[in-house]
Amino acid sequence: MFYGISQGKMPLDGFRIKHVLKDIQSLNRDALKGKHHITAISTAAYPLVADKYWILSVGASVGRRYGPILVCRPEKMKALKASDWSSLRIATPGPLTTALLLLRLFRKDFISVNKPFDRILHAVKAGQVDAGLVIHEGQLTYKKWGFQKVLDLGRWWHEETALPIPLGLDVVRKDLGRSEAARLAGLLSESIRLAYKNKKDSVRYALKFGRGINAKVGEKFVKMYVNRDTLDMGVEGEEALKELFRRARRAGILRAPCAPEVIRP
């Protein structure tokens, strides 16, 4: 998404951009403090920062019938198929992640074990947990570890709602004002379009952050989460946001209603 901006391939319209590279849970924590002017966050974290940030219509990571997956070693599958998860330990990528929110909506009674997202498969392999909630490229590589898929939360969400699942968002700080926020949305939109026009180079750039995955897997992952919904989440994407927050509220996970406000270029 940031290929055009970060590689100096496009005019920045008077902005100066400093790239801050962190995992999503760290960015969620930063957003609670309003640390960055524009940042990626988990959709689940947005209600906690809605007083500080608007949602951008561009830059969202949206899954259509796919999303975070729950995996386990084969010998643990029977326990995961049972109706009682109260004693099961599941490695999850952070308390503010959308993956964990979705799993809580699917089933409440499990023990969440916070792990950096890139250590979850290791924790499953070592037997430290009964299962792992996998995001990022682990969704495509878990079979190489000999694991089995228990649940695809993106598919479950679609069966429940007939909507896509907005997993991650780009948000912009409200103190910049609506005009500047809209300009930043336009800048990001142009960066994404430029990346698709130069797909070979942009995928090669993105693979620097792919933790050892090859170009074939990298391109597949990019196509999953940098898609037409990324350029504009649209009315359907906004409805998906509202439905996610409504369900979280009904489940007692959100303490107050959240009405998302979206800024377009």
Per residue in 199-210, pLDDT tens? Answer: 889 988 988 887
Instruction: Give tens-digit pLDDT for 39-86.
Output: 999 999 999 999 999 999 999 999 999 899 999 999 999 999 999 999
Instruction: Give residue-wise pLDDT tens across range 112-139.
Output: 999 998 899 999 999 999 999 998 877 8
Average pLDDT, the chain: 93
pLDDT attached to residue 220? 82
pLDDT at 141: 84
CATH code linked to domain 69-161:
3.40.190.10
**According to the model, what pLDDT value does residue 221 have?**
80
Crossing angle for the helix pair 178-197 and 199-206, nearest 10 degrees?
110
For the cut 90, the answer to whether the pLDDT of residue 260 exceeds it is yes
How many CA atoms are closer than 13 Å to the CA of 10, on its beta-carbon side?
22
- For residue 221, what are its two tokens? 């992952």
Q: Tell me the CB-side half-sphere exposure of residue 111, using CA atoms within 13 A.
A: 8
Asked if residue 26 has pLDDT above 90, the reply is yes
Q: Which residues are catalytic?
A: 136
- Distance, in Å, from the CA atom of 107 to the CA atom of 117, rounded to the nearest integer, reads 20
Q: How many CB atoms lie within 10 A of CB 33?
A: 9
Q: Does position 213 have pLDDT exceeding 80, yes or no? A: no
Measuring CA to CA, how many Å separate 62 from each of 9, 41, 103, 130, 158?
25, 13, 17, 28, 12
CATH number, domain 3-62+165-263: 3.40.190.10
* Same fold for the pair 3-62+165-263 and 69-161: yes
In the chain, what percentage of residues exceed pLDDT 70?
100
Q: Kindly write down the DSSP assignment for every residue of 114-181, as one continuous string.
A: E--GGGHHHHHHTTSSSEEEE-TTHHHHGGGGT-EEEEEHHHHHHHHHSS-EEEEEEEEEGGG-HHHH
Give the model confidence (pLDDT) of 134-179 as tens digits: 988 778 889 999 999 999 999 999 999 999 999 999 999 999 999 9
Which range of 18-22, 200-204, 245-249 scores highest in mean pLDDT? It is: 245-249
Beta bridge partners of 91: 113, 132
65, two tokens? 């019938």
So what's the pLDDT on residue 112?
97
Q: Show me where the domains of the chain are located.
A: 3-62+165-263, 69-161
Q: In angstroms, what CA-CA distances link 51 with 116, 131, 171?
A: 27, 35, 12
Q: Is the pTM of this model over 0.85?
A: yes
